[in-house]
Amino acid sequence: DQQVKQNSPSLSVQEGRISILNCDYTNSMFDYFLWYKKYPAEGPTFLISISSIKDKNEDGRFTVFLNKSAKHLSLHIVPSQPGDSAVYFCAAKGTNAGKSTFGDGTTLTVKP
């Protein structure tokens, strides 16, 4: 039973446009959510996070939205740049939990 799901394996957008990556979770105990970005042959790098007490967190071109009632979060990248092309993983943690549970990732391609 996959507790964190990224239903779109891939997404392609034009440079300068908005990229929206989606993530759904099933475990109500999750209260902290993270997005990681991964380039080939590298480990994931932390991008942005959000606590369940918030519904939005913004960091430069990256904004994460959380809808707790729908158990859904999304990552918005505006404007998208070719260097944003990577695999994006959604992850979730419970209170006092050490580990994160990851989705299977969405491959974003930003075309020049």
Among 34, 4, 13, which Cα is nearest to 86's? Answer: 13
* From candidates 44, 73, 75, 86, binder to other proteins by CB under 8 A: 44
Q: What is the Cα Rg of the chain in Å? A: 13
Residue 79 or 109: the one with the smaller Cβ distance to other proteins is 109
Least separation in angstroms between residue 18's CB and other proteins is 24
Q: Is 8 in the site for other proteins (CB under 8 A)?
A: no
Q: Is 63 in the site for other proteins (CB under 8 A)?
A: no
Residue 43 or 83: the one with the smaller Cβ distance to other proteins is 43
Q: How many residues does the chain have?
A: 112
In angstroms, what CA-CA distances link 16 with 60, 71, 78, 109?
14, 29, 7, 12
Q: Is 4 in the site for other proteins (CB under 8 A)?
A: yes
